[in-house]
Amino acid sequence: MQIVKVLIEYSNRTLNRPFSYIYKGSTKIKKGVRVLVEFNHREIVGYVIDVEESNLKIEQIEEQSGYQLSEIISIIDKEPLLDDELLTLLDDVSSYYLAPKISVLQAMLPPSLSPRKSSLKAPKIAYDIYFEVIDDNEEDLTNKQIELLRFIKQEGRVLKRDIKSKSVADKLLEAGRIQIIKEEKRRLKIPDYKYENPPKLTEDQLAVIKEFNESNDQVFLLEGVTGSGKTEVYLSLSEQVLKQGKSVLMLVPEISLTPMMVEYFLHRFKDNVAILHSDLTPAEKYDEYRKIAKGDCRVVVGVRSAIFAPLKKIGLIILDEEHTESYKQDTLPFYHAREVAIMRGKYNNAKVLFASATPSLESRARGQKNVYHMLYLTKRINNQRLPTTKIVNMLDYHNIDRDSYIFSHALREALHQTLAKNEQAILLINRRGFSTHVNCRNCGHVFKCPTCGIALTYHKTDNMLKCHHCDYVEPYPDTCPECGSNHLLKTGFGTEKIQEEVERLFPSAKTLRLDSDSAKNKTKIPETIEAFRKKEANILIGTQMIAKGHDFPDVTLVGIVLADIGLSMPSFRSNERAFQLITQAIGRSGRKEKPGLAIIQTYMPSHYAITFAARQDYELFYRKEMEMRRLQFYPPYSYLTSVTIRGRNEENVIESTYQIVDFLNEEFLEDAQILGPTTPYIPIDMGFHLRSILLKYRDPEKARKILNKMLELFGSNSQYEIFVNVDPYNF
């Protein structure tokens, strides 16, 4: 008999411990497989973390343990799901982020292999079934059988579904003339890209590659201006690593950038590439994951979750646009792909390359302290000049076009000139929808999300009010629910409104829009980008997903319609985010022979994030923002952890949060700043009340011990949940 220690599928901290089960079957259960168990009168999936052999009877085991043991219902997997490296990574991520192991496992594995009950209904292996000739002797066969036998022999193998006469095929199988061959099917359809010879590298690119190869350092930060050829550096380094018999993990920040990067890698490495991102179907994810695990490819291109790809012998890990916050997961287990990349790099003795035109302040500070090895690409390919930039003060009414409160004279005239020259323009506003607020003129009622408490955005396309946090939707009302008035006012604007204004002011222009609304269909993003690249439209309007990574040769104008969106957000990163977004957006203009122009419309024309971004001066912004961070004791001058308490009863949540604050003050004494409790920007989440605490400290090891102690003392209360977010991005 075996005693099996099992993590159950619930990630609630009150259940964050192994539960013991017994197994009497003849199969030996292996550590690392999933099992079906009964828990609280429900059948659920568990993950085996330990197995002990026992010669005792059940009664004796139960007497020793002090409680009754249930028997495992069935074993789901034959072999462990994770190899030694990924098991070590599971421990490291769980320890660093103070996250329940089961939540880390659920982040690491695709839906079909996840330790969840839903995985049992998720897609499994799909096969193509072929017929193949094993004996071409035609004796004792009918004419129809001979015809089919000769056809299969001529083709080599034939798909079973292509055979019209099932009975004839069955007779040939029965006679031993043909056999069935099952071949695993790859459900993700990838175009057949022709190999492209690499372009000649510039002196700067060659120098960066040489320095990278000659250094014994493990982690590198490549700071390269927009259009400097960072992608070709990735490809060249990948080629070297593959020649050494090792594999490459290439991460991009957003799905919208994945198709382009995949295309680059497929042109260079063809069938050696697998793709992992959240827009794949569960079946496609399962196929790609298995392909990687079996060693059928040695290059993986994907987004954040691809950092857990089961690659063997990793030689190089790359994070493109490393500054992007989408590398940080905003739900349990709250991991950051950058830190996980370093963990995997150490285990595999692999080099890790972070790259950006605007590195995060934490990464740049580590580079300056030689924790990361700094590399630089300071010039665009072919020494192409950076775009000319112009800041337009929208507080000065002389600058605003009388015909449209959205566009300045300068931007409207620049759009007119761009269209006249048959060139292309990108218009960026980091806000989707048509109007950002709807309120009643009569009583002032603002339409808010009932679950989050934030203002609903009006979307004209489907005439709905939508919450951009939790995806709540409701039809646009005819009257105010408070006073019954039909005088409803729409204020603010987003991508939908911009598109409508462009089409009104420039009726001959062809426009495309790209935001998370227009791109709900997973094929929409690559289709829109490809259509714009082929000049099927003059103007591309979108949110931040159009600001990074794209290379459009005919874009000579970028208009940032409202540059200060985000600067007023309650976050210590708001200045950094605004600078990065504006800098990246400007970089889309003038990337080939034609000179580029960028126009920045703003109500805060003298804000340093905007002025330094307009000058593309990362160095000055870095110095200024680092001084602000030093004065406020924010990263990289401190470490951060946020603690969020969530519960149905608001009074209970508030009282418990104050108890936790008192505990933390006693434990840390003078070694940390403890801010809070505070009410978050979004105070209610799906009916749960939230309160937050922010810790700033210098000693991460001491903080980890205290936070673990806090979770032991307070984490088992069923009245509320505690979420610990190490290195939070939003606070």
- pLDDT 10s digits, 353-412: 999 999 999 999 999 999 999 999 999 887 778 899 999 999 999 999 888 889 999 999
Same domain, 505 and 521: yes
The whole-number pLDDT of residue 60 equals 72
In a domain, 197, yes or no: no
Q: At what angle do helices 84-96 and 337-348 cross, to 10 degrees?
A: 140
Determine the Cα–Cα distance for residues 364 and 345; give it in Å rounded to an integer.
19
Whole-number average pLDDT of the chain: 92
Same domain, 378 and 388: no
677 contacts 695 by C-beta, under 8 angstroms: no
In a domain, 451, yes or no: no
Cα angle for residues 263, 269, 274 (degrees, 5° grid): 70
Same domain, 501 and 412: yes
173 pLDDT exceeds 70? yes
- pTM, two decimals, is 0.89
Candidate ranges 186-195, 429-438, 688-697; pick with highest mean pLDDT: 688-697
Which residue, 121, 138, 156, sits at the end of a domain?
A: 121
CA distances from 274 to 222, 235, 284, 476, 614 (A): 25, 15, 11, 43, 38
Same domain, 317 and 255: yes
Residues 6+ apart with CB under 8 A from 548: 253, 254, 257, 321, 324, 584
What percent of the chain is modeled with pLDDT above 90? Answer: 71
In a domain, 469, yes or no: no
Per-residue pLDDT band for 297 (boundaries 50, 70, 90) equals very high
Q: What is the mean pLDDT of residues 17-42?
A: 92
676 contacts 662 by C-beta, under 8 angstroms: no
Determine the Cα–Cα distance for residues 331 and 317; give it in Å rounded to an integer.
24
205 contacts 379 by C-beta, under 8 angstroms: no
Lowest mean per-residue pLDDT among 98-107, 127-136, 328-337, 435-444:
435-444
Per-residue pLDDT band for 1 (boundaries 50, 70, 90) equals confident
Same domain, 621 and 713: no
- pLDDT 10s digits, 554-576: 999 999 999 988 887 778 999 99
The CATH number given to whatever domain includes residue 657 is 3.30.70.600
CA distances from 657 to 571, 645, 714 (A): 21, 7, 10
In a domain, 244, yes or no: yes
Which residue, 121, 147, 170, sits at the end of a domain?
A: 121
The CATH number given to whatever domain includes residue 30 is 3.40.1440.60
Return the amino acid letter for 63.
E
The whole-number pLDDT of residue 195 equals 83
434 pLDDT exceeds 90? no
In a domain, 458, yes or no: no
The whole-number pLDDT of residue 131 equals 95
Q: Decide: residue 5, CB within 10 A, 0-12 exposed, 13-18 middle, 19+ buried.
A: middle
In a domain, 21, yes or no: yes
* Owner of token pair 């009245």: 719
The whole-number pLDDT of residue 522 equals 63
Per-residue pLDDT band for 447 (boundaries 50, 70, 90) equals very high
Q: In this structure, are strands 127-133 and 158-159 parallel, antiparallel, or unpaired?
A: antiparallel
Per-residue pLDDT band for 521 (boundaries 50, 70, 90) equals low
Same domain, 402 and 547: yes
The whole-number pLDDT of residue 258 equals 67
Per-residue pLDDT band for 519 (boundaries 50, 70, 90) equals low
Q: How many domains does the chain have?
A: 5
102 pLDDT exceeds 90? yes
Same domain, 677 and 565: no
Q: Which helix (H) or strand (E) holds 102?
A: helix 101-108
- pLDDT 10s digits, 637-671: 999 999 999 999 999 999 999 999 999 999 998 88
Which residue, 566, 601, 629, sits at the end of a domain?
A: 629
58 pLDDT exceeds 90? no
496 pLDDT exceeds 80? yes
In a domain, 482, yes or no: no
The whole-number pLDDT of residue 593 equals 80
Per-residue pLDDT band for 685 (boundaries 50, 70, 90) equals confident
246 pLDDT exceeds 90? yes
Same domain, 552 and 666: no
Same domain, 651 and 679: yes
* 587 DSSP 8-state letter: T
Domain of 310 in residue numbering reads as 203-382
Determine the Cα–Cα distance for residues 622 and 630; give it in Å rounded to an integer.
12
CA distances from 98 to 91, 101, 668 (A): 10, 9, 18
Per-residue pLDDT band for 314 (boundaries 50, 70, 90) equals very high
Cα angle for residues 217, 222, 225 (degrees, 5° grid): 165
Same domain, 224 and 331: yes
The whole-number pLDDT of residue 230 equals 95
720 contacts 645 by C-beta, under 8 angstroms: yes
Same domain, 399 and 546: yes
* 515 DSSP 8-state letter: S
231 pLDDT exceeds 80? yes
In a domain, 290, yes or no: yes
Q: In this structure, how many other beta carbons lie within 10 angstroms of the beta carbon of residue 103?
A: 24
Lowest mean per-residue pLDDT among 392-396, 409-413, 489-493, 625-629:
489-493
For the sheet with 127-133, list strands across it: 158-159, 127-133, 178-184
Determine the Cα–Cα distance for residues 160 and 484; give it in Å rounded to an integer.
66
The CATH number given to whatever domain includes residue 335 is 3.40.50.300
Determine the Cα–Cα distance for residues 684 and 470; give it in Å rounded to an integer.
11
Same domain, 417 and 558: yes
